[in-house]
Structure 1
Amino acid sequence: MSFFKHKYFKPFKNIFVLFLVGFAVWMLFFDANSWLIHHELNTDIEDLENEKEYYKKEIQKDKKAIKELSTEEGLEKFAREEYYMKRENEEIYIIEYEDSLKTE
């Protein structure tokens, strides 16, 4: 019992201090609205805000691509580059370099 007679344990003899410490520990760690849960939710909010910014940037890129494809020249350029389409009486030669080939 001489362990509890140390000067650091003197405030814990008061029932109100014990209750306050117990209440603080309960609210910080064990309650449904604890600090740990709030920290986890704040991390989730930050992740979702970052994801929101990413999708906003992607939407802007897609709007730009749609604007380019809405013109006759842009649509023709896309068809020629992606689907290798050509006009009548026209020859297309595809040149691929070794470093641009996909190897598995």
Structure 2
Amino acid sequence: MARLINLFKNKFFLATLAFLIWMIFFDRNDLISQYEYHQQLTELEQKRDFYQTQTAKVNEELDELSSDKAKLEKFAREKYLMKKDNEDVFVIVHKKDE
């Protein structure tokens, strides 16, 4: 017990303890902030990866559409309901069950 009391009387120990407490809890870059920054970084990296894959898919589709006229025609018919002059287009909309 006397050794513990002597330890708390030591000014170097107290200064180190105060420094550690300040750095862990009160500093601008404390542990809680570092954890939140790490979570935010992970989330942003996941979003970056998602958008990179989506960009690659869109670029691949664009290359296919620009090189193949049949795929371009199919895309225009499906997405934009385009038709030839002598055709009729019927759009079927399914109602959701409520």
TM range, smaller chain: 0.7 to 0.9
CA offset at residue 41 of structure 1?
1.6
CA 54–90 in structure 1, closer or farther in 2 if over 3 Å, else same: same
The amino acid across from 2:15 in the alignment is F
Counterpart among 22, 36, 45 of residue 18 in structure 2: 22
C-alpha distance in structure 2 between counterparts of 1:101 and 1:7, whole Å = 83
**How do 1:1-104 and structure 2 match up within 5 A?**
9-10=4-5, 11-70=7-66, 71-94=68-91, 96=92, 101-103=94-96
RMSD: 2.5
Matched pairs, number: 95
Which moves more between the two structures, 27-36 or 56-65?
Answer: 27-36
Structure 2: any 5+ residue segments left out of the alignment? none
CA 33–83 in structure 1, closer or farther in 2 if over 3 Å, else same: closer
C-alpha distance in structure 1 between counterparts of 2:80 and 2:28, whole Å = 57
